[in-house]
Every structure is written in structure tokens, then in C-alpha cells.
Structure 1
Amino acid sequence: MKHFIVTIGFLMMGIVLFAQKKEITGKITETNGLSLPGVSIMEKGTSNGTVSDSDGNYQIEVSENATLLFSFIGFTAKEIPLEGNTLINVVLAEDLQEIDEVIVTALGISQEKKALGYTTQEVKSETITSVNAPNLGNMLSGQVAGLTVDTKTGIFQSPDFQLRGKAPLIVIDEVPVETDFFDVSSADIENIVVLKGPTASSLYGSRGRNGAILITTKKAAQKGLDITISNSTMISAGYTVFPETQTEYGNGSNGQYEFWDGQDGGISDGDMIWGPKFSDNLEIPQWNSPIYDNVTGETIPWWGDVSGTQYDDKSRYSRVPIPWEYHNNLKDFMRTGVVSTTNFSIASKNEKASTRFSGFYQSEKGRVPTSNLKTGGLTFNGLYNLSSNFTLDAKLSFNKVYSPNYPRYGYGPKNHMYSILIWMGDDVNGQDLKDHYYIPGQEGYRQANYNYAWYNNVYFAANELNQKHDRNTVNGQVKLKWDITEDLSLQGRSSAVLKHTFEDRESPKSYLNYGDPREGDYKTWNTDQVNIDNDILLSYKKDFSDKFGLSANAGASMFYKKYQQEYNATDGLVVPWVYSLNNSLGNVKASTNYQEREIRSVFGTLSMDLLDAFFLTVTARNDWSSTLPTSNNSYFYPSVSLSTL
């Protein structure tokens, strides 16, 4: 009896505790009022938690007397008891433990963190290389306050960056670049500094108006010879998340289904996944049902519809009912993905020079059949002390990104996951789709499928449609620095990035996608791009006393970009499987795109340090753009910042 009473007591206690749960909402911001997305909010002493959304808002259900813990990388954590409140707005301040640290800012200018009147955040190389990933950009997810990284899981999908809601400029070794990060090795990265807001990156002009991500690559770190070789392999076999769909009913509508042509020529065989419920005793005519000749009694094996064949006669031919069974088509379609990465570096350093030669090769086998990606590159970095006050810094790299075939993404039948998860009923026998791409006797002309109104046979699409990407990038830069005095220096820098990309797409006959011809096609894109950056910078820095310091920079720069693309496409194919512009059914479609742009600039900065507590920075930049009318092609970028300790 006592045992029974104690049990009831515990049950009642659990009910009371459950009833005392309360919902807490609020918004998290920085000290400057900007929203902070991705902040971790935890109920102290439990595993109950959530994160703030893109606007800094959060919502969490906790115990009545709970204490909330708010934490984010680069900010000082806060611990706040509820004390009866249901609305708790939080302001997080930057962690000032490393306030005296010197970091590299815009144009390679070094400054102390405490002197900056804007927000920056640094990501060390240990963070970037701690986990292997096919793309360096994915490693920045959750590492920087205000930086939203839209990571994608498909092969050859690059992440999208939003810094406080806008796309930032990417800068590698002090030179702005355009990259998807497949041509950058994480093993070559020394550190990453994020400059937040237009004030932080005003010296980059219009290109840096949304902030900048500054990436510095490694150089020889220690005297003597240093050789490193590494290899890692990553297996991808599961899913992070995918839409939950019903698995009790197959194709059809209102519990009815019978296949004839996959375009509603049968009974609800053109759309919808609410047909008959799966049953061991149910047999229904389906896309892979044999054909029965009602006159001769003959049974003919068949896959797909019968349009345009002798069997397209319902008065004589019918489809044989076969078992109505469940198939796990997503599991059967996706294969195990493998990412293998090899890195090496040879570094040497002495009093006269330091050099580092590195390379990487990465091979990725995608989870979609036939998809794979190969990337690799070689990089040379050299720093030479030409004399006691002259240094030469040089870099040369070659990178290649190659995929013989990668999947198409986005909305519509071109997306395999879209077709399988959303519109491919589980009654469809995926193995038969895999074994029979084409209707018997129509090989190369008409795919075998369960639907001809909206979707493709996913195995046909994965194996017969091919899209290639072949990109070569050469990056060369040189910087010469002259230390005129202990306080005054002059440097000149020049860089060039040459990028050539060839892409093509081979679409088989009967392939379905919105806007694409059903007669097959062949498309090619030839793209060449040249970016040239030249600049000169005069720098002065002097501490006149322990109460006053001054630094100034003045310079000029020139940016030139040339972009040219040639596009060619057939209008259908005469002969299947012959992917050539000469095999066009109609006239070949062609277009060219040529762009040329030049920006010339002058810029300067002035920073003053008073009492090691007040820091004033003034920057100015003026650009002259070749794409604007000559009479109105100049625009000015000033900024002023004040910070105190």
C-alpha cells in the first residue's frame, strides 16, 4: 500500500512539474543594437535548449524557476534567472580578453583590436581544420557572429554567405577574389578575419560595402625544413533531415489507381500519391506490368507506357495486375558517399628567405549514382629579404575543379530528391527503373517510367543526363616593401587571377524538365575571366609618447576585370546519344557575353591613440569607374569611427 501511495505521489509531482513549464521569448542583440542570429540558449542544468533565429529572436519552454544561459563565439556569455519574467531581451558584449591582439584589416593594414571602431572576429586555423569537409566555406558555419552560412549537402554545392544579411567580399592574401571555395584548401589557411559592416571594409570601396572575409594563407612558420603529409577519408551514409512523407498509400487518388500511359489515360495515373493502401493481397496494373494480348493470350514483358506502339489499343491489350508493394526508393537510390583528401607541404625558413610549397587533392564520390567531383591545386609562397629594408613577397598557385557529372538541384523534375521524396509513390519498383531506362524497342528515344506528365525515371536521369564542369584557375601576386625608416614604409603590390571554365550538358531524348526540349539537347559554356589588382601604399606609424600615438596610410589602386562567355546549344537532337552541335534538329542557338570594367582609386586612413583609451580612425576613398558616364564616374567613401576602453 505504501509503495502504491509513493508511486501516486511521484506521478502527481511529475504532473505538477509539467504544469509549471512556461514559455520564454525575447531578442538577442549586440551592444550596437544589431541582431545576433545563432546564439545558444540553454536552460541551466538541463539539455533543454534552442538557438536564436536570423533576426535574433528566440523562444524556449523552461521550468518556472529556471536560469537561462546565453552564449556565442566571440561574445561574453550571460546567465540570467527568470525571476518571473516571460520576456527576456539580452545584449551580448564582445569578449575583450584579447583586446591587445594585432590583426590584419583591409588592404593588409595591421591594427590593434582595441583601436578598431568597428566589429571584427577571427577564426583560427585549428577551428577550420578540426573537421574535414568537402568545402572550406562550410567550416565557417556557427563560427562568426552575424555571419550566416547556408550550407548545402549535395555534391558540388557551394555555401552562400550572408554577413548581417548581405553578401560579403572575399579576400585571400590581401587580394579580393571571386570563389566558391572548391579551389581553396583548408590545410593552407592560417587564419580568417571577418570585417563587419561598411566602416570596417570602406577601403575596398564598392566591392567591400557589405563587409569582408579576409583569408590569410600559411607561410613557413619555423626555421629549417618542415615537411607534412596528411590524408583523411570521410564517409557519408545518413541524412541530416528530409521531408516526412506518408508510406501507407501508393500512386493514385481517392484510393484508386491503374496505369496505362502515366498521363491520366488510366485511373489516376498522372499525379497524386493517395491511391490504394499497400496490402499483401492486392494486385494492380502498374508501369512495369506485362502486356496481355486478349486475342492470342500472349503475355509480353514491358516497362513504361505503350504510346506509339502496336499495344496502344485498350480493346485488345491490357496490363497484367502485379503485387501492390511498398519500396524504399530513397534508400535504394542513394549510395554511400566518400570524400578522400590528401595534403602535403614543404616549408623552409632562414634569415634570407622563407618558402612554402603545398598541394592538395580531393576526390568526392557523391551519393547520387554517377556523380563525382575532383579538386586539386599547387601553391608556392615565398618571402625574401632582399636587404635590411627591402622584402619581396610572392605567390603563385594553380587550382583545378573537375566534375564529369554532378546532379541538378532546385525545384522541378530535374531534382532527383524532389522526384523520389515528393512525387514518386512507394509502389514504384525502383529496381525495375534502374534495370530498364527505356521502353522496349525505343532505346535512346523514350524513357521507361511510371509518369510521363511531370517526372523522370530517376535512374534514367542520373545515368543518361550528364553535366560537366572543368575549371582551371591561376593566381599570381607579388609585393615589394621598402622600410624607408623605422616609422615609414612604402609597398607596391600586383596580382592577377586567370580563370577558364568549360561546362556542357548532355540531355537525352524524352528527358523532362521545365523549359527544356523533350527531343534532347546539347549545351556548352566557355567562360574566361581575368581579374587584375594593382596598388601602392605609403604607411606611417609612430608613438610620440605613452599617451599619444599616430598612424596614417595613403595609397592608390587599380582594379581591372574582363569577363567573356560563349554559349551554344542544339535545338533537339537528330540521333540519340550523339552530343554534338552538328547533330542539332533545328538551328543552333548561340550567344556571347562580354564585360569589361576598370576602377581607379585613391584612399587614405588616419588613426589617433589618446591615453591608450580613446581611438579615432578616419578613412576616405574615392573611386573612378569606367562603367559610369565620364562626367559622373566618381564616388566618395568616407568613414569615421571612435572607440574607447
Structure 2
Amino acid sequence: MTRLTKNNLSSKIMKTKMHLYFSKAVFFVFILSCFVGFSQQNISGTISDEEGVPLPGVNVVIKGTNNGTSTDFDGNYSISADQDDNLIFSFVGFLDQEVKVGTSTNINVSLQLGSSELDEVVITGYGTSKKRDLTGAIAQIKTETIQRANPVQAAASLQGQIAGVVVTKTAGKPGDAFDINIRGLNNFDNEKTRPLVVVDGILGANLNDINPVDIETIDVLKDASSTAVYGARGANGVVIITTKKGSSGKPSVSYNGYYGQKTQAHMPNMMSSRQFYDLYKDEERFGRGFTAQELYNVENDITTDWLDLVSQEAIQQNHTISVSGGSDSTTYNFSAGKQLEEGLVTGNDYTRLSLNAGVESQVSDKMKVGFTAYLTENERNWGSHEAVRSAMRARPTATPFFDDIVNANKRDTNFGPVGPYAFYMGINDSQVINPLVEIHPDNYQRQNRSNSLIANVYLEYEITPGLKFKTSYSGYNNNIREGEYRGTFTKSRKGSRSPIASTNQFKTSNYTIDNTLTYQAEFGKHSINATALASIFEEYNEQIGLAVEDLPYKSLWHSLGTGATVTNYGSNLEEYSIASYMGRINYGFNDKYLLTLTGRYDGASQLAEGNKWAFFPSAAIGWRLSEESFIQDLGAFNNLKLRLSYGEVGNNASINPYATQANIFQT
């Protein structure tokens, strides 16, 4: 039986060339693996604590890679590594240790107890805090975790990493966004459950625009006591992105990249032409009938695998180059990246280009200035929604290419070839058209292009020791253009209607001005960290759309003025603003007892007169039980904390800017 697929449409010459290329590639990989095998050696050893007690479950990783292992119940491990590699040993409650392999084949390590994890700094919104001092529910993932996942989009790196955070993809096409739900109920209206995204202090940015390689940390604020600092926008949780910054030292150039392929996992086993004919040959029962062309295909065992013809092995790759460095007073970081993701259906792909820049300078003993800028350009090609549907419905007895039709019926000859393809495929079925026609770029295209800029300029001045003032101006600008073209030979136009096209353009622009005072001090057993904020936020959204039909020639969505009929048009403009005042006090006593008080006063233009302002308070207490002697005597906990919190937050995201000014239209 002959089954028409992409593979057997290739020429024998190409197959021969590929066979030669493959043979050479296998030989090269074999030779290379021999050299690699000789350069690596097996390293083994035992990991214990300071008292010599073996530690099971210690992570042993080759630095800069995802290659690693863990110790067994007796603290033993074994791993293959090069002499130039460094091994990193890490375990919860102990300090990480790094050892160079060198010529040693047996490396035993004694890990020291430490509180490095508890001393790590997390972003709390308009400030930072050590993990040990947190009273709210805040979780953090670092760049190492993100790099191990190699996600296409930043939101994907949160999947399965943080308790209470559910991350789902809205659809399966390349570039489709992810929905993040933080301790909330699922809702058909995503605006009601979507968290606030903050990128380098800039509110309202699109998380999917950020290259995951450029991210240093992602902090997620989950409960009301921690999100109250964002007041009217904190009800759905907050995701805070901090991009990578430079550090003092010589310029450092790094490259991060990966390449992979995706294939269909479980495709249905479709009928052969003979099986299809045997099932439906009873014309009186099914009313289908078969053309002479179909009978020819059945008699000659020619079967068309339509799903294979419209699908492809999809490439996924990311390449990022970064340069960082600086002096004792000034640091910088620059990066450029490209992301490419193809879909499993031909015509679907996603491309993202990104540029990241950050400079910070200590201009005097008391003053520090800096800026960050993030530029992104995205392009998504959706391809036809009808292609797979038609491929599932098309008869295996049908013929893809017009020139291959031996006995063309009237329907085929009336339409003739569409490119090289047969529109009705030599069959008596006007409900299904050739899927290859549907995905042909001259017949159908749908594209989304966008560019965005995130920028922040700030100045920080130390008034007195412990007291700092910071002012910042940040902005976000996003432009989107969507276009769709449906040619005559698409499912909706049925081969007899003229082409249609449409375009929609969206523009979002906002800015934020923050003025912040922070005070941090310790007095004996007492510690205090206070923050005061005055902020203004304004956003502008504009949309315009146009759809036409009866286009005289194929111009996609670029010459809509040539369309004879306008089928739809419209435009829209929305503006709103929020003014805010916020205060927060973190108090600690004896490194055991913690208290956080927060209050934010927001005024939103969306709300009605007399109800524009609201106050959002929160309070949280913490008791570090692990610092009490009666807990330490148990020897079971290195960090045990009891927390209790209360907070009130709002959600203005789903409120139309002019909802309180609605009119009753007269007819």
C-alpha cells in the first residue's frame, strides 16, 4: 500500500543525500564521544556533616550544567566529570560548598551548618526582607531554577515551583500566553483572577514579553498581608520580576542557548483508503458514493495521510548573549536574545527578539542613580484553524495534488488547481476542502506583531545613615497589530467568494512616578524597617479596527482601502489613573518576635464620585519558634515559624474606566 505523507513525497536523490549526511554525522558523533569519554572520569565520595555523620539526599551538581546526582542513604555519591569541572554540594540547612575536580577521583566533603537560605533576600514590594524575617506568604525562585526549566515564556518557569500558584497555558499554539492563578478560584473572566505583574518596579508590564534568561529572581506575593502594599491592585496576588544586573569587575561575556524539537505524541491511527471504502461503499446506506479518482486510489492502494501532510516536527530554540561588568562605582549589564518556537501544524510559529540594558552608578557617597530598559518585539503566525479539522475529516481516498488526479470530476476542473493543490481533491464532498489549500500562505494568513518598551530611571539619596529617599519614573509602552487574510479558496469563502481581510491595532501606554522614604535601624534587640510611599499611575489604551471584503488582489491586510465593502470598523479610547499613599513598618525583637503593619490609600478614577478612595490595611505577626530553647532542644528544626496575618486588598482590573458613567441609550 502506498501512503502519501511528507516523507515519501521527497525524491530518492534527497533520501540518498540524507543517508550519506546521517552516516557522516553518526561517525563524527562516535569519534567525538570517544574523546569525551577519555576526558571524563568517575568521581565518588562521601558527604557528611561537621561531626562526620553521613548526609543522604545531598545534591551534587556540575557547575554551569544540569548534570548532577544525589547521595544515597549512607551519604555516598558517584558522578562523571572533567578535570576542569567544579562540583557544587548543596543541602537544606547547610552552606553550599564548591570543589574543583582536578585529578582527584575521590572527593569527600564535610558540609557546615548555616543559615544562608534564611539570610537570602526576597522582594516584598517597594523594599526587601530576609526570608527569616518574613511575616507574609512570599515565595521566590531564582535564575538557576528558571534555567533548568528552559521555558519559552517566563510564566512557565513557575509551573510546579510554588505552592498555591497554578500556571496553565491558554491554548497550545506557539506564543500563547500563560494564565497565573494565585490562591484563587478559576474563572472564565481571566481579568478577575490575573495577578499584578511588576518588572523592575514597573507595574502592568506583560510577563510574556520577558526573556526568561534575563531574569534574576521571580518573587510571588500570595497573601493579603504581603499584597496590601499594592492596595487596589493586589487582590489576585503579585508577581515581581527582577532582571539581571551587572557587578563590579572585568567585562564578562556569556552565552546561553538551547535547541530542541517537538513531535506529536499520540496521533490517531487513520483508516487506509481500502478500509474507508469497505466501510462506506454501501451508497444506499451512507449516500456517499465514490468518484472514479477515489476508486482508482483504492484499487492501487493509494492512501493520503492528511494529518501528516499538515503537521511538522517543530523546532524550539533560544539564544542569548549578555555582557556585564563595571567598576567599584558603576556597573552595567546588556543582553540580546532571540526565541523561536514552531508549532506542530504548518504555518504556526512564534519569534521573540529582546534587548535588555541596565546601568547603576554610585555618583557620590550619598547618591546613586541608574536606569533599566527592556525592549521586546514579538511575531506570531497562527495559521489556519481549519487545517487540522479538515485533515481529520478529509477522506483517505482523496488526492492532494491536482496533477495527480487521473479522473478529474467537474468540481475539480471548475476550480482548477490552487497552487499545486486540488481544491476538492477528486471527491464528491463539498463540505471538506483540501487542508493543504487552507494552510497555503497565499490563501490564508493570520499574524500578530507587537513591540514593547519597559523603562525605569531612578535616583536614590541617603539623607542620614539608615534613612534613604528614592524617586523613580517608569513607563511601559506596548503596540500590537493583528491582521488576518482569507483568500477565495478557504473554508469560509468556499472557492467562490472574494477575499476578506481585517486588521486591529492596540496601543497601551502607562507611566508611574514613585517617591519613597525608607528607614532601617537596629537598637539592641530591636530592629525596624519602615517605608513610606507617594505614587501616581496613569494608563492610556487605544484600539482601532477595520474589516473589508471584495479585495481585488492579494494584499493581506495592508491595502484595505481597495476593498469594495467595509464589513466592520470601530475605535476605542480609555484612560484612567490611580493616586496612592502607602506606609509599612516591619518590627523585630530579639530575632524571635516579628510584626508588620501596612496601610495603603488608593484613589482610582474608574470609581464613582464620592467613592474613588479606599484604604487597604494589613497586619501580620510572626514567632520564630526555632529560636526558643524548648524547640532547639528537640534538634528537629532549624527554622520553625508561626505566622498570623490579616489584610484587605482590592481589584480594579475588571472595572471599565467609564463604568460609572454609563448612559441609557434611547432608540
TM-score, structure 2 normalization:
0.66
Change (3 A) 1:386 1:426: same
CA distance in 1, matches of 2:553, 2:292: 27
Change (3 A) 1:447 1:519: farther
Task: Indicate the SS of the match to 2:369.
Answer: strand
Question: Counterpart of 1:276?
Answer: none
CA distance in 2, matches of 1:141, 1:639: 29
Q: Does residue 168 in structure 1 map to residue 192 in structure 2?
A: no
Q: Does residue 159 in structure 1 map to residue 178 in structure 2?
A: yes
Question: Counterpart of 1:372?
Answer: 349
Change (3 A) 1:508 1:489: same
Task: Indicate the SS of the match to 2:280.
Answer: coil
Counterpart mapping for 1:204-353 below 5 A: 204-236=230-262, 238-241=263-266, 244=268, 247=271, 255-256=279-280, 267-269=286-288, 285-286=290-291, 289=294, 326-353=303-330
CA distance in 2, matches of 1:578, 1:102: 51
Question: Counterpart of 1:106?
Answer: 125
CA distance in 1, matches of 2:134, 2:292: 68
Selected match of 2:436 from 447, 452, 459: 459
Selected match of 1:124 from 123, 133, 142: 142
Counterpart mapping for 1:380-459 below 5 A: 380-403=357-380, 405-407=381-383, 414-421=385-392, 423-429=393-399, 439-442=412-415, 447-448=423-424, 455-459=432-436
Q: Does residue 542 in structure 1 map to residue 521 in structure 2?
A: yes
Deviations 1:290-309 (A, max 9, x none): 9xxxxxxxxxxxxxxxxxxx
Greater helix content: 2
Question: Counterpart of 2:337?
Answer: 360
Task: Indicate the SS of the match to 1:448.
Answer: coil
Distance apart, 1:330 and its partner CA: 2.3
Distance apart, 1:492 and its partner CA: 0.7
Distance apart, 1:596 and its partner CA: 0.7
Deviations 1:452-508 (A, max 9, x none): 676553222211210122212122211111111222111111111111222210011
**Contact 1:189 1:217 (8 Å CA) reproduced:** yes
Deviations 1:213-240 (A, max 9, x none): 111101113422111234432222x234
Change (3 A) 1:391 1:286: farther
Counterpart mapping for 1:504-515 below 5 A: 504-512=483-491
Question: Counterpart of 1:67?
Answer: none
Distance apart, 1:333 and its partner CA: 2.4
Change (3 A) 1:448 1:254: closer
Amino acid at match of 1:160: D
Task: Indicate the SS of the match to 2:132.
Answer: helix
Task: Indicate the SS of the match to 2:527.
Answer: strand
Change (3 A) 1:201 1:321: same
**Contact 2:277 2:298 (8 Å CA) reproduced:** no
**Contact 2:513 2:535 (8 Å CA) reproduced:** yes
TM-score, structure 1 normalization:
0.69
**Contact 1:156 1:406 (8 Å CA) reproduced:** no
Change (3 A) 1:549 1:180: closer
CA distance in 1, matches of 2:304, 2:287: 20
**Contact 1:433 1:457 (8 Å CA) reproduced:** no
Change (3 A) 1:320 1:332: closer
Question: Counterpart of 1:304?
Answer: none
Question: Counterpart of 2:643?
Answer: none
Amino acid at match of 1:440: T
Amino acid at match of 1:176: L
Of the two structures, which has the highest relative contact order with CA contacts closer than 8 Å and spacing of 6 or more?
Answer: 2
Q: Does residue 201 in structure 1 map to residue 227 in structure 2?
A: yes
**Contact 1:357 1:379 (8 Å CA) reproduced:** yes
**Contact 2:164 2:183 (8 Å CA) reproduced:** yes
Deviations 1:531-563 (A, max 9, x none): 1111111111222122x2222111111111101
**Contact 2:314 2:342 (8 Å CA) reproduced:** yes
CA distance in 2, matches of 1:357, 1:213: 23
**Contact 1:508 1:577 (8 Å CA) reproduced:** no
Change (3 A) 1:382 1:419: same
Distance apart, 1:241 and its partner CA: 4.9
CA distance in 2, matches of 1:536, 1:544: 27
- Tell me, which stretches of 5 or more residues in structure 2 are unaligned? 1-90, 94-114, 185-192, 625-667
Of 592-601 and 468-477, the range deviating more from structure 2: 468-477
Amino acid at match of 2:244: K
Selected match of 2:165 from 124, 147, 150: 147
Change (3 A) 1:514 1:577: closer
Deviations 1:137-159 (A, max 9, x none): 22322122222221354222222
Task: Indicate the SS of the match to 1:167.
Answer: coil
Q: Number of paired residues?
A: 493
Task: Indicate the SS of the match to 1:194.
Answer: strand
Q: Does residue 137 in structure 1 map to residue 155 in structure 2?
A: yes
Question: Counterpart of 2:653?
Answer: none
CA distance in 1, matches of 2:238, 2:417: 50
Distance apart, 1:322 and its partner CA: 5.6
**Contact 1:120 1:193 (8 Å CA) reproduced:** yes
Question: Counterpart of 1:191?
Answer: 217
Distance apart, 1:328 and its partner CA: 3.5
Question: Counterpart of 1:91?
Answer: none
Deviations 1:238-259 (A, max 9, x none): 23456x5664799989943589
CA distance in 2, matches of 1:614, 1:511: 69
**Contact 2:273 2:297 (8 Å CA) reproduced:** no
CA distance in 2, matches of 1:558, 1:337: 45
- Tell me, which stretches of 5 or more residues in structure 1 are unaligned? 1-73, 77-95, 260-264, 270-283, 291-318, 409-413
**Contact 2:325 2:331 (8 Å CA) reproduced:** yes
CA distance in 2, matches of 1:343, 1:389: 35
**Contact 2:273 2:302 (8 Å CA) reproduced:** no
CA distance in 2, matches of 1:365, 1:387: 50
Identity of aligned residues (%): 20
Of 533-542 and 142-151, the range deviating more from structure 2: 142-151
Task: Indicate the SS of the match to 1:632.
Answer: coil
Amino acid at match of 2:214: D
Q: Kindly report the root-mean-square deviation, in angstroms, between the aligned alpha carbons of the 2 structures.
A: 3.6
Task: Indicate the SS of the match to 1:631.
Answer: coil
Task: Indicate the SS of the match to 2:233.
Answer: helix
**Contact 1:444 1:577 (8 Å CA) reproduced:** no
**Contact 2:542 2:572 (8 Å CA) reproduced:** yes
Distance apart, 1:407 and its partner CA: 2.6
